[in-house]
A and B are shown apart, each in its own frame.
Chain A
Amino acid sequence: MPQSPYSRRELLRGGVLLGGALLASPLLAACSGDAGSSPTGPSRRGGTLRAALVGTGANENLNPFTGATVLDFVRARAVHGTLGVIDPDAPEDVRYGVLAGIDVDDDRSRYSLRVRGDARFTDGSPVTARDVLYSLKFVVRSTPSYAGYTADFDLDAARVDGQKTLVVPTKRPVSDGHLMLCQGIVFVFKDGTRRFTPDTPSCGAFRIEEFDPGEGTLLRRNDDYVGGTGGPYLDAVELRSIVADDARANALRGGQVDFVHDLAPAHARTVEADDQFTVVESRPPDVSGLGVLLNMSRPPFDDVRVRQACKLALDRKAILNTALLGRGIVGNDLFAPGYPDSPTAIPQRPHDPDRASRLLRAAGASGAKVTLTTAPESAGLVRTCTQIAEQLSALGLPVTIDERPAGGLYADYDAYARLQMAATYSTAMPPLQYYEVSRAGKNPFSLGWSRSDVDRRISHTRTLTGQRRHQASTAVHRVLWEEDNVLLPVFKPVLNGQVANLRGVADGLFLQFPSFVEASLQ
């Protein structure tokens, strides 16, 4: 199982994903943004946007890390702001929020985070380096899930240099630390913040006007906000928690809300059939991979030829059309498409059942009975597994599906690591970091994948920059593509439904947790 810095609960609740935006990629051709379907012209100021997202019930509170639903993160992003988000159009692949920039020492032993001079909290006090350090520690302390964001940094040795500069030593030389620090959930809190109330000072694009646990939050524009590219345009945003995706779709179609987050493909189809609405798909890297891990410590998958046969046997387009109704992109058995380090030079694996059959026979595995364990942990996951099972069975590898209830796949982590074939889904995180977090060091959740040489190459690649990094990343990903145990035939986007006169949500980047900072009602 690929691990993520999110708990299973969070993922189950809202399909929570990490990530930012993307670099130009052939994959993008398969995706649509909202530019083509939204009204044009200058963004209009004013109006109240009513948005529905997956939240929790009456035990909701304003600490984003205790509830950890999509709604919690969206509200926190709107209210508290972030260090930055990943932006392919920005010079360092990052659009900074509270930060003016990050300087990296030549030997990559220290990162200097420079805070914007004009950034202020809602109580009028300036945002300082001390606040940023407090925020980083707060995020890490909140739950072990978030430790991955600063795993490369020695926060205890960090030093505040004047009011606006934070110098953080690295634990090892890495050149891509800013990609993790600017993942869009590193929110900025005032030093010493422990309790979160509507009056807690914040520095995001909106401030909380009213909070009614389990019912909704009314946000009002923060006119002193400095992190946008023109926004915020909206006067106010109403955030509503609607957990069931059909209820969210109905609320949009019934005119009760203007924006709904994370529609199921079938609902997206219904919504966009009406001219009053549009559906905006997130693009790589804001996508979630759905697939299967083959346990390399158990036959027949301990033979690389069997693993390759399984990969070649998959008709990925058919899986996409059946499991996701065509909404998504075809995968190439590699995690995290759309990032600067994503290996675009590796060709798309073909559907070659003849070669797959030959490989299976050569390995002496034809007719070997295997069991695939799955559960509805992410929308479309069971259907994807069913398709994979059918195609592998047709190849001559009879697959029995063991479907468990939601939550059942990861109910026992030790048992998961022993499964012969296990469903998996990925979160959006830069691929090299993703490998280190989820697969390196004989991680039991990688089901038998244990290659210290690949671990070292990934670690070394993270120290490189420019063309050398690109080449090294491609080379090591080719090893994974050929030898590892990951079947990742499809990637699922976030499908957001909205009224036709809403624009600019995608301009705020990071659609997993839309910020609404650039949104406007035309």
Chain B
Amino acid sequence: MIWRRLLLTRLAGMVATLAVLSVVIFAGTELLPGDAVSAVAGQHASPAQRAEVRTQLGLDRPAPQRYLEWIGGALHGDLGPSYTGGRPVTDVITERLGNSVLLALAVYLLLIPLSLTLGTIAGLGSASGRRGRRADRVILVATVSMLGVPEFLTGGLLLAVFAVWLGWLPAVSIAPIGGSVLDDPQALLLPVASLLVVSLGAATRLVRAGVANVAGSPYLEAARLAGVRGPKLVLRHVLPAALGPATQVISIGLGTIVGGAVVVETLFDYPGIGNELQSAVAGRDVPLVQGIALTLAAVTLVALLLGDIVARALDPATGGRP
């Protein structure tokens, strides 16, 4: 019952947030530099031709009316047609979102074990002897460095070394014509590595903080006195306490991955939603920009909600109660 109430409350909050965001997105695209009519009609269009295009695009109607139509369509999965190619925006997003989800999953597949391992070593090290503290400092410095370097620089460096200089990996993630990005898994490596570096710093530091809190706690000391040592101590007593906050952090880290994906996908020409957004903005394809922005907002909010729920479920302090 308590879980149900929590879920309903959070869902309502998410819907309200998404509604506000949809207004912000719509207003933001209205204010974008560049006029969709000019983009479609061209510079030579006469006033009459421009008016015709404006009517065709539905831009002659008041903005509130267009917003309601857009959001009404979105609720039914219809985000309208793209200005440039004429394809349904929903189809374009579905196609590209799959590739981006694949990229994010590959990042998480590495991010979760790596951040847990490094964060645990650092967190336990912070509360132990000199050797442990040294390991903690090394990891802290490394993660701070990762946090300080923007994704375009990280990606650019990886690209310069592994694609251009050594020639080991492809510089751009182009899939075989008619195939998918999975047909050439090598093409995923550099984008994944770039996003991993960007997100690993924050995730590791948050796991470390959780572990460090537990490391000095009386119940862990009690476990030690009871003879629990090594991996058993970590797996049974340290990680469960640290996982809650870490899960939330990892869900928050999705924001980093989504934001970074726009840069990284463009850098490696990865056929994901971030790259598509960049193309849509350049082409003043307003329905596509709106659709992608709304989708990314929804995905991020759902991830945050899931992260919050999992964190509460894993929190030993609450015994799995919300």
Chain A residues within CB distance 8 Å of chain B: 1, 3-10, 12-13, 56-61, 66-68, 143-148, 210, 212-218, 238, 240, 242-244, 246-247, 250-251, 253-256, 375, 404-408, 410-413, 437, 445
**Chain B 111-137 interface 0/1 with A at a Cβ cutoff of 8 Å (1 = within):** 000000000000000000000000000
Kindly state the separation between the CA atoms of A12 and B32 in the bound complex, as whole angstroms.
Answer: 15
Set B49, B86, B163: member contacting A59, Cβ < 8 A: B86
With A and B bound together, what is the CA distance between A375 and B33 in angstroms? 11
| Best-surrounded residue of A58, A145, A210 (most CB of chain B within 10 A) | A58
Please, which residue of chain B has its CB at the minimum distance from the CB of A9? Answer: B39
CA distance A5 to B163 in the complex (A): 40
| A366 CB to nearest B CB, Å | 35
Is A67 in contact with B163, judged by CB distance below 8 angstroms?
A: no
Given contacts A7-B38, A145-B44, A251-B172, contact A57 B33 (CB under 8 A): no
Instruction: Write the chain B residue with the least CB distance to A5.
Output: B44
What residue of chain B has the Cβ atom nearest to residue A404's Cβ? B33
Contact B96 A216 (CB under 8 A): no
Contacts A7-B40, A407-B33 given: A210-B177 contact, CB under 8 Å?
Answer: yes
Does the CB pair B85–A216 fall under 8 Å? no
A66-B85, A210-B177, A218-B177 known; A57+B32 contact, CB < 8 A: no
Considering the complex, give the chain A residue whose CB is closest to the CB of B38: A8
Considering the complex, give the chain B residue whose CB is closest to the CB of A61. B85
Closest residue of chain B to A142 (Cβ to Cβ) is B42
CB distance from A445 to the nearest CB of B (A): 8
With A66-B84, A210-B177, A411-B34 as known contacts, state yes or no: A256 contacts B172, CB within 8 Å.
yes
Query: Which residues of A are found within 8 Å of B46, using beta-carbon distances?
Result: 144
Given A251-B171, A407-B284, does the pair A244, B267 have CB atoms closer than 8 Å?
Answer: yes
Give 5 A-B pairs besides A4-B43, A146-B42 with Cβ atoms closer than 8 angstroms.
Answer: A5-B44, A57-B271, A67-B85, A143-B45, A256-B170
CB distance from B78 to the nearest CB of A (A): 15
**B104 smallest CB distance to A (angstroms):** 18
A408 touching B44 by the CB < 8 A rule? no
Chain B residues whose CB sits within 8 angstroms of the CB of A9 once the complex forms: 34, 38-40, 84, 282-284
Residue of B nearest to A270 (CB): B164
Task: Assess whether B171 is in contact with A8, with CB atoms less than 8 Å apart.
Answer: no
Q: How far is the CA of A8 from the CA of B96 in the complex (A)?
A: 26
A253 to B33, CA, bound (A): 34
Across the A-B interface, give the 5 residue pairs with the lowest CB-CB distance, nearest first. A145-B42, A59-B85, A254-B171, A407-B34, A7-B42
Contacts of B278 in A (CB 8 A): 243
Asked if residues B44 and A255 are in contact (CB atoms below 8 Å), the reply is no
Q: Which B residues touch A437, using CB under 8 A?
A: 44
Q: Digit string of B259-270 for contact with A (CB within 8 Å is 1, else 0)?
A: 000000011110
Least Cβ distance of A91 to chain B in Å?
31
Residue of B nearest to A242 (CB): B269
Tell me the complex Cα distance, A1–B42, Å: 13
Q: Are A145 and B164 in contact (CB under 8 A)?
A: no
Beta-carbon contact of A58 and B38 below 8 Å: no
Contact B87 A59, beta carbon cutoff 8 Å:
yes
Shortest distance in angstroms between B291's beta carbon and chain A's nearest beta carbon? 11
How far is it, in angstroms, between the C-alpha of A247 and the C-alpha of B270 when the chains are bound? 10
The 24 listed contacts between A and B (C-beta, < 8 Å) are: A7-B38, A8-B34, A8-B43, A9-B282, A56-B279, A58-B87, A58-B92, A58-B95, A58-B96, A143-B45, A144-B42, A145-B41, A210-B177, A212-B178, A213-B87, A215-B271, A217-B177, A218-B177, A238-B177, A242-B172, A247-B171, A247-B172, A250-B171, A256-B171
Residues of B within 8 A of A66 (CB): 84-86
Return the chain A residue nearest B177 by Cβ: A216
Contacts of B49 in A (CB 8 A): 144
A406→B33 contact, CB < 8 A: yes
The reply to whether A145 and B43 contact each other, CB–CB distance below 8 Å, is yes
* B221 proximal to A (CB < 8 A): no
Q: Is the interface of B mostly helix, strand, loop or mixed?
A: loop
Partner of A58, one of B42, B163, B171, B276: B276
| Chain B CB within 10 A, most for which of A6, A215, A216 | A215
A56 and B278 CA atoms in complex are apart in Å by: 10
Q: Are A410 and B38 in contact (CB under 8 A)?
A: yes
Most B Cβ at <10 Å: residue of A10, A57, A148, A218: A57
Closest to B94 in A: A58
Decide: A13 and B171 in contact? CB cutoff 8 A. no
The answer to whether B85 touches A6, judged by C-beta atoms less than 8 angstroms apart, is no
Contact of A8 among B39, B163, B164 (CB under 8 A): B39
Q: Which residues of A contact B268 (CB under 8 A)?
A: 247
Q: Which of B92, B167, B269 contacts A243 (CB 8 A)?
A: B269
- Alpha-carbon distance A177/B170, docked complex (angstroms): 48
Q: Which of B89, B164, B167 has the most CB of A within 10 A?
A: B164
Secondary structure at the A interface, as helix, strand, loop or mixed, is loop
CA distance A407 to B283 in the complex (A): 10
Taken together as a complex, chains A and B put the C-alpha atoms of A146 and B40 apart, in Å, by: 12
Q: Is the CB of B33 within 8 A of A143?
A: no
Q: A3-B43, A244-B267 are in contact. Are A61 and B87 (CB under 8 A)?
A: yes
Chain A nearest CB: distance from B37 CB in Å? 10
Residue of A nearest to B160 (CB): A250
Given A56-B85, A212-B178, A250-B172: A411 and B276 within 8 A (CB)?
no
- CA of A410 to CA of B45 in the docked complex: distance in angstroms? 14
The residue on B at minimum CB distance from A412 is: B35
* B172 pairs with A215, CB closer than 8 A: no
Distance of A256 Cα from B284 Cα, bound (Å): 29
Q: How far apart are A166's CB and chain B's nearest CB, in angstroms?
A: 24
Give the docked Cα–Cα distance between A148 and B49 (Å): 14
Q: Does B275 count as interface, using CB distance less than 8 angstroms?
A: yes
Return the CB mask of B147-175 against A: 1 if under 8 Å, else 0: 00000000000010001100100111011
**Does B285 sit at the interface, judged by CB under 8 A?**
yes
Residues on A with beta carbons closer than 8 Å to the beta carbon of B275: 57, 243
Pick the residue among B34, B89, B279, B285 that contacts A410 (CB under 8 A).
B34
Shortest CB distance A440–B (Å): 13
Q: Are B164 and A253 in contact (CB under 8 A)?
A: yes
Q: Tell whether B188 is near chain A: CB-to-CB under 8 Å.
A: no
- Bound CA span A203–B46, Å: 33
Q: Which chain B residue shows the least CB distance to A7?
A: B42
Query: B288 at the A/B interface (Cβ < 8 Å)?
Result: yes
Q: How far is the CA of A1 from the CA of B268 in the complex (A)?
A: 35
Q: Which A-chain residue is minimally distant from B163 (CB atoms)?
A: A254
- A250 and B92 contacting across the interface, CB-CB below 8 Å: no
**B280 contacts the other chain (Cβ, under 8 Å)?**
yes
Residue of A nearest to B164 (CB): A253
Contact present for B177 and A57 (CB under 8 Å)? no
Tell me the smallest distance from the CB of B211 to a CB of chain A, in Å: 40
| Chain B positions 32-75 with a Cβ under 8 Å from a chain A Cβ | 32-35, 38-46, 49
Interchain CA distance A412-B37 in the complex, whole Å = 11
* Complex Cα spacing A250 to B275, Å: 17
Query: Which of A144, A210, A213 is B45 in contact with, Cβ under 8 Å?
Result: A144
Q: Which residues of A contact B164 (CB under 8 A)?
A: 250, 253-254
Contacts of A210 in B (CB 8 A): 177-178
Q: Separation in Å of the B293 CB from the closest CB of chain A? A: 15
Q: Any chain A CB within 8 A of the CB of B82?
A: yes
Complex-state Cα separation, A217 to B46, whole angstroms = 35
Which of A218, A240, A256, A405: most chain B Cβ within 10 A? A256
* In the bound complex, CA of A254 to CA of B267 (Å): 14
Question: Within 8 Å CB of A148, what residues of B?
Answer: 44
Across-interface contacts of B170 in A (CB, < 8 A): 254, 256
